[in-house]
């Protein structure tokens, strides 16, 4: 079986990273078709890793071959040239469209696996995604058939995969505890302290000869309580129409 060259692989990888149109790549028509098809296979597999790559390749190839022949039958020149390069044709008697050969499919699978390894995709993440897909299938199967034991097992496996959904780096859990309580009168008080009553404030003010504003400042510095105090003289409202 003929294998794809390393040079072709590097071209495909460069194309996936470079954002260059496939038409501008230095490849044959057959190579361009394979590059586009295998990139789509890669994306489908990443979204549904439970599906075998061979199945994805065969399904996409069958779809593309049919579209190619349909367009070629309508006289599309580009489709005619591509069909000829790939050796795709419609059977004159049955109308069946030729299938992709096993040699081509094997080379397609090899290229998809290379893309999985090259496009910054960890094998661990791929395997994890495959296991998750199987667990989700088991859970869905259990719900549809009423097999609640299957649902229970699926949930247990999902918890194991994600360490019971415990996140050691949970930012909310690492936020510092300020130990601040909000009282009913919206005074901010450190834990373990209470706002002074009006009688207590009055006794302290008289004992130390302080104004209400000075007493409030002292209390704020001592126990972290902020208690608003009215100004000694009410300032006129600049928008008061009676002024």
Per-residue pLDDT of the chain (243 residues; tens, 9 = 90+): 478 899 999 999 888 877 677 888 899 999 999 999 999 999 899 888 888 999 999 999 999 999 999 999 999 998 999 999 999 999 988 989 999 999 999 999 999 999 988 876 555 555 565 566 667 767 776 777 777 787 778 778 777 776 666 655 555 544 555 454 444 444 444 444 456 677 777 777 777 777 777 777 666 655 544 445 454 455 554 444 444
Report the predicted TM-score, pTM, of the whole model to 2 decimal places. Answer: 0.52
Decide: 154 and 136 in contact? Cβ < 8 Å: yes
Spatial separation of the C-alpha atoms in residues 38 and 18, rounded to whole Å: 16
Spatial separation of the C-alpha atoms in residues 212 and 201, rounded to whole Å: 8
Domain ranges of the chain: 6-121, 129-165, 180-223
3-state SS, one letter per residue, for the chain? CCCCCHHHHHHHHHHHHHCCCHHHCCCCHHHHHHHHHHHHHHHHHHHCCCCCHHHHHHHHHHHHHHHHHHHHHCCCHHHHHHHHHHCCCECCCCCCECCCCHHHHHHHHHHHHHHHHHCCCCHHHHHHHHHHHHHHHHHHHHHHHCCHHHHHHHHHHHHHHCHHHCCCCCCCCCCCCCCEEECCCCCEEECCCCCCCHHHHHHHHHHHCCCHHHHHHHHHHHHCCCCCCCCCCCCCCCCCCCC
């Amino acid at each position: 079986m003929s294998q794809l060259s390393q040079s072709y692989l590097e071209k495909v990888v460069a194309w996936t990273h470079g954002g260059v149109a496939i038409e501008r790549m230095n490849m044959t028509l057959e190579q361009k078709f394979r590059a586009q098809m295998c990139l789509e296979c890669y994306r489908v597999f990443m979204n549904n890793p439970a599906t075998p790559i061979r199945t994805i390749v065969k399904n996409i190839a069958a779809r593309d071959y049919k579209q190619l022949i349909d367009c070629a039958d309508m006289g599309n020149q580009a489709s005619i040239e591509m069909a000829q390069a790939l050796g795709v044709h419609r059977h004159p008697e049955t109308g069946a469209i030729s299938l992709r050969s096993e040699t081509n499919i094997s080379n397609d699978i090899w290229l998809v696996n290379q893309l999985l390894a090259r496009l910054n995709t960890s094998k661990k993440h791929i395997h994890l995604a495959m296991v998750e897909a199987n667990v989700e299938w088991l859970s869905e199967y259990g719900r549809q058939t009423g097999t609640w034991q299957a649902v229970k097992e699926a949930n247990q496996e999902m918890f194991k995969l994600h360490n019971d959904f415990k996140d050691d780096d949970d930012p909310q859990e690492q936020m510092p505890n300020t130990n601040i309580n909000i009282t009913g009168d919206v005074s901010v008080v450190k834990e373990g302290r209470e706002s002074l009553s009006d009688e207590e404030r009055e006794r302290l003010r008289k004992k130390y000869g302080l104004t209400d504003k000075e007493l409030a400042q002292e209390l704020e510095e001592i126990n972290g309580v902020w208690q608003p105090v009215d100004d000694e003289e009410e300032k006129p409202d600049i928008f008061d129409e009676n002024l």
